[in-house]
């Protein structure tokens, strides 16, 4: 844990998804709240999307599924750090000419409902 899912609009044509995931994973490790081998990340490009009624915008929405039991301060740290790293836009390989909505959502998963085995 955590499981990180990044959804982004397909009008971000210069987005390097692998680099974005690496930056998110790095910042999560730096919080010292997660072990590197426990972080599982993936990115999904949304081919069909609509913001409002079709304004020329883009988005990146990061969902981090974390096990329950974290304090409010720890969650604030995670959210702030992930938002900071995606705001730097190092993962964009070209200039973007429209506003980008950047969102981070933390989702608590009950510890007693998560099962894991490494084989």
Show me where the domains of the chain are located: 3-113
CB 39 within 8 A of CB 4: yes
What CATH fold (topology level) applies to the domain 3-113? Macrophage Migration Inhibitory Factor (3.30.429)
pLDDT at 94: 81
pLDDT at 21: 98
Task: Map tokens 């730096």 to a residue.
Answer: 30
Question: pLDDT (tens digit, 0 to 9) for every residue of the chain, 119 residues total?
Answer: 899 999 999 999 899 999 999 999 999 999 999 999 999 999 999 999 999 988 789 999 999 999 999 999 999 999 999 999 999 999 998 878 889 999 999 999 999 999 999 99
Supply the pTM of this predicted model. 0.93
Q: Largest Cα–Cα distance of the chain, in whole Å?
A: 48
pLDDT at 24: 98
pLDDT at 56: 87
Residue-by-residue DSSP string for 33-98: SS-GGG-EEEEEEESS--STTT-S-EEEEEEEEEES---HHHHHHHHHHHHHHHHT-TTBSS---S
3-state secondary structure of 106: strand
């Amino acid at each position: 844990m955590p499981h990180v899912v990044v959804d982004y609009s397909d009008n971000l044509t210069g987005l390097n998804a692998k680099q974005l995931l690496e930056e998110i994973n790095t910042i999560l490790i730096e919080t010292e709240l997660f072990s590197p081998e426990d972080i599982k990340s993936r990115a999904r490009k949304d081919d069909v999307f609509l913001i409002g009624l079709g304004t020329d915008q883009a988005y990146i929405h990061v969902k981090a599924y974390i096990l329950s039991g974290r304090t409010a301060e720890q969650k604030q740290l995670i959210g702030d750090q992930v938002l900071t790293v995606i705001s730097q836009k190092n993962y964009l390989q070209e200039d973007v000419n429209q506003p980008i909505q950047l969102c981070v959502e933390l989702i608590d998963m009950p510890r007693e409902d998560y099962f894991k085995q490494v084989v």
